[in-house]
Structure 1
Amino acid sequence: MERTETAGLPDAAELLDGIPSQRATASAPATRPAPVRPRPWRLLPTPTGTPFTFGYAAVLAVTSLVTEYADPDLVHSLLQGSSTDVAHLVRTPVLVLLASALWVAGGLLSPYAIGFLLVLTALERRIGGARTAVVFLLGHVLATLATEVPVGLAVLVGQLPDSSLHRLDYGISFGVAASFGALAGLLRPWLRWPLLVGFGWMLVQDLLAFTDPLSNWGHLFSLAIGVATWPMVRRWRGVGTGAR
């Protein structure tokens, strides 16, 4: 049976002594929560909200200033010493894998530098700083090995010249691509799939252009690594300070 109410009519007790009755109070409409206002500044890292991304961005800003204003010979030596080419990976793998992630290829206004700020900030707000670092390093390390180990094997069997062992290879792009892939797993499907398809298509176009095939393959590998972390990052979701 349909329930009917006499909303707006005063109760008898109210007419007698001015005290609202229980029924009148219960039938009063509930107060609606205040609407959530957009806060665009949360797209960028902060020292307290996203300390890992903020601290890492500060380091990248310093190294970018070095590459911009320091002596070119010094810059070349620093980048060469940080390169994750086969020769360095054989001698000092841990050192160069870490050092190569301290430089931004293309400077602070490059697409991957901007992507670093937006993607890692969003990811850290959802899964926390330490876990974001794990995702970033997974992409950076595994994609680097996936591209450089075949080069070493090709040189070993005589398919590539020895000079291929000393190619210049550094930057944050593998880690950013993996972080993007991981973040996509935490988004709503209507946003997740268009972003993944759009970014993946951009990487495929870069590969077809054949300007830097090793790096282009590395970007695709790192994106796939990020997607492979979905079960892990979904278990971690809600740990960060801005997860909601």
Structure 2
Amino acid sequence: MVRSAPTPASAPFTLAYALVLLGTGLFVHLGDPRTVHDLLAASSTDVSHLFQRPLLTLLASAVWVVGGFVSLYLPALLLVLTPLERRIGGLRTAGVFLLGHVLATLLTELPVAASVALGHLPHSSLRRLDYGVSYGLIACAGALAVLLRPRARWALVGGTAVLLTVSSLTGVVDPLTGWGHVLALLTGLGCWPYVRRGARRRATAAPADAAADRANG
């Protein structure tokens, strides 16, 4: 577990993001319940908010974690993002996370908007409480998987798929969010050229940096 802990040198993005989520998680548990509910509702990536303020909504929804600071999403985020960032760097890790978060959100909410416009769903479907890090986290899990050896890769992908299936079947997540999780995983797996290129560049740069440090020392 010690190796999974991010440090300012090895995984600054993961460390900073985890601290933000820890802070908002503590606020969920310690803050005024009404204020907490209002902030979560305002950060929800439902159709109504996405049409009114898309960029702010997408960013705001990613600073909250479902379950607060006791959520299993926090240790899962450390276990996934830390090794990914160590392999491809903070900017690329943030890029994969945001891509999964944004794409999965839009690909699940836009069909809802179309269904409401066509009269297949009631207008109440335009507002729902949907926030959290799960889409970005699952996309990063998919991206990390393509960098692992085959046995570890399929274990990670298979384990993630099983967890998503169980969550959907047991009603832990609603069907729309369940589809979003699947899309996020596929998005992460689809990032394989991007993450492998980043991993190669980082692996090539590491010996050069070490040699420069020895020369300066």
Counterpart for residue 91 of structure 2: 130
Structure 1 unaligned runs (5+)?
1-39
1:108 Cα deviation from its structure 2 partner: 2.5
Aligned length: 205
The 5 Å alignment of 1:80-99 reads 80-99=41-60
1:8-31 deviation line (CA, Å, top 9, x unaligned)? xxxxxxxxxxxxxxxxxxxxxxxx
Q: 1:168 aligns with which of 129, 139, 154?
A: 129
Matches of 1:47 and 1:87, distance apart in 2: 38
Structure 1 residues 65 and 231, CA gap change in structure 2 (3 angstroms): same
Note the residue ranges of structure 2 that are not aligned, 5 or more in a row: 208-217
State how far apart, in whole Å, the 1-side matches of 2:134 and 2:17 are.
14
- Contact conserved, 1:127 with 1:240, CA < 8 A, in 2? yes
Of Structure 1 and Structure 2, the greater helix share is in 2
Q: Deviation at 1:109?
A: 3.0
Alignment TM-score, normalising by the size of structure 2 = 0.89
Query: 2:147: which partner in 1?
Result: 186
Structure 1 Cα separation of the partners of residues 167 and 152 of structure 2? 23
Q: Which residue of 1 aligns with 2:192?
A: 230
Identify which of 137, 146, 165 aligns with 2:107. Answer: 146
Question: Larger Cα Rg: Structure 1 or Structure 2?
Answer: 1
Alignment identity in percent?
A: 55
Which amino acid in 2 is paired with 1:57? A
Structure 2: how far apart are the matches of 1:88 and 1:184?
33
Letter in 2 for 1:59: V
Distance (whole Å) between structure 2 residues aligned to residue 206 and residue 60 of structure 1: 22
Q: Give the Cα separation in 1 of the matches to 2:138 and 2:95.
A: 13
1:204 to partner: Cα distance: 2.1
- Tell me which stretches of 4 or more aligned residues in structure 1 moved more than 3 Å: 208-211, 238-241
Contact persistence 2:108–2:176 (CA under 8 A): yes
Q: 2:178 aligns with which of 216, 224, 241?
A: 216
Tell me by how many angstroms 1:163 deviates.
Answer: 1.0
Paired letter, 1:191: A
CA–CA distance in structure 2, aligned partners of residues 222 and 41 of structure 1: 28
Distance 1:126 1:78 in 2: 35
What residue identity is the alignment partner of 1:43? S
Query: Once the two structures are superposed, what CA deviation does each residue of 1:105-161 show, in whole Å capped at 9, x if it has no partner?
Result: 012232322211110001000000000000000000000001111111111111111
Aligned counterpart, 1:19 = none
Cα distance in 2 for residues equivalent to 1:134 and 1:185: 16
Indicate if the aligned counterparts of 1:120 and 1:132 stay in contact, CA closer than 8 A. Answer: yes
Whole-angstrom distance in 1 between the partners of 2:128 and 2:174? 12
1:205 aligns with 2:166: yes
| Cα-to-partner distance string for 1:3-57 (whole Å, 9 max, x where unaligned) | xxxxxxxxxxxxxxxxxxxxxxxxxxxxxxxxxxxxx522111122111000111
Residue pair 1:67, 1:75 contacting (<8 A) in 2 also: yes
SS in 2 for 1:102: coil
